Structure 1
Amino acid sequence: MKDTAEMYIPTLEDMLAAHERIKPHIHRTPVLTSSYFNDLTGAELFFKCENFQKAGAFKVRGASNAVFGLSEVDAAKGVCTHSSGNHALSLSYAAGRRGIPCNVVMPRTAPEAKKAAVRGYGGTITECEPSTSSREAVFAEVQAKTGGDFVHPYNDPRVIAGQGTCSRELLEQTDGLDAVIAPIGGGGMISGTCLTLSNLAPEVKIYAAEPEQADDAYRSFKAGHIIADDAPETVADGLKVPLKDLTWHFVSNHVTDIFTASEQEIIDAMKLTWQRMKIVMEPSCAVPLATILKNRDVFAGERVGVVITGGNVDLDKLPWMKS
């Protein structure tokens, strides 16, 4: 792991510049409330609905910042990345808006809905096995062949600055918060949240939510150093990747705590949200609500921002359906 002195840590100015850069290419997503969930949890919840975002996920923020921040010379070579889905389709979307090539490496097990979206936006997919080691090895081959600019799904200061714009909007759309909670996989959204809140609202607590079956961030947080799993299995397919040095910097310095939820708790929270709020969300996005329901004593009486990170769901394979 690199020492943080060797990394470029994005700043508040980077986030503010990112917001101006990406405004023509993203939605200012709504914040929804639910009296049902407020009564159920004892908290006042404010759902930041990035499932309504362009390309269906928050990741279009970071991807757009990276793509539209490239020089003309670098942009001509295109961009490339590896991703289980939402970053891949978000980068394809942004590259398509700029008219440049986008090559992505995706696990063969990634949801078909996400693969279809990548191709729909003009991205080129190379498949790999569903493990971090396979993903990185296949990606090295693709990048060597294409020469595109590598936009890492989360361990990239341009991406983190872009993701930080979500929390800036959330602060502007709510009249004061006590806490914000978001899912954690590689840590891009949480890092952007930390970047924004530590500068603009340092009194707001930052919580991360993770599947029990892919709890490497939780174990890293408790151990005080990165613990990486190679190929965890969870219904929350967007949260299978490990922390990296840049996201660990933000998590270790600014996150208040990390909570976990079981597979059934995640599925139950996802289904309940569909039933009560009538919004489409991915299993990964249900993890924060699942952990709030599991830890009501922590959140009771608090005003809590809950980031719903995406809505790219394979409607033929919902997790509560019988196969």
Structure 2
Amino acid sequence: MLTTFARHGEHTTALDIGTRRLLSRLAGFRRLAGGPVGAAAIVVFVLLVVVALAAPLLAPHSPNAVDAGNIFAPPSPEHLLGTDDVGRDLLSRIIYGARPSLAGPLLVTLFSALLGTALGVFAAWRRGRVDAVLSRGFDVMLAFPGVVLAVLAAALFGAGFLAPVVALSIAYVPTVARIMRTAALKERSLPYIEALQLQGLSGIAICARHLLPNLAPLLLVQAAIGFGYAMVDLAAVSFLGLGTQPPAAEWGVLVANGKAAILDGHPQQSLYAAAVIVVAVVAVNLVGERLALYFEIGDHA
């Protein structure tokens, strides 16, 4: 039986409420997307996440299954994108490659966002000597490119997934910290902060309940942009042979594995993986741009 709600003399059904909520969410999505390009970017990014999560269900073959009698097979109903130099299904490897290729940038983004925001807000709140010391530290760290630190970490602690992720996470902290510090200084100068202090609220309470929530949109935009940079850097480290190691399926690894066959007329492995990386990075950057416009954020990000 359809539930009916009576309010102020009007009767509203549960179906009407559900329809209104759906229309409201669609309107919010249209405003966020801002047009077909933004909508396509959001859809592409969501699809990549779904592919990574549902890889065992979507991949037609095992990513590491070798078929020595089916090397460099062309696209066919059995292998939609063909096979690589040892007969592995390229589509399956690209699908499974979405997992480390997205998980690595996600970890880098989360760690750098949390630590960078904490340091940036702390510097802005304390100001004075604390702010000066931390700001100079950020400047020094920014002198070292993230990829260089990732290569150094892999050389010291061994090639693999973890070392480059940790190194890039640390390398991205000063960028986030400087952006959040600038925004926090501006926010701290607003009258409501002084009013909260006069009410007796501690600095921790003000930052946790008011300052950080107001900075959250800026942090979200910066995280989206940083995610794209982290994806490119981690793919570059894997291409150099210092990141995720073969035979694991990862997009940077696929580009590296296929480079030897390009001159032999078989560029598909490197080409497909590189194309997926480009599409993913462009989609994430467009999402970040749309978030900046949606939250009306100017030059901070």
What's the TM-score once normalised by structure 2's chain length? Answer: 0.24
Greater Rg by CA: 2
TM-score (norm 1): 0.23
Greater share of residues in helix: 2
From the two aligned structures, give the one with the greater strand fraction: 1
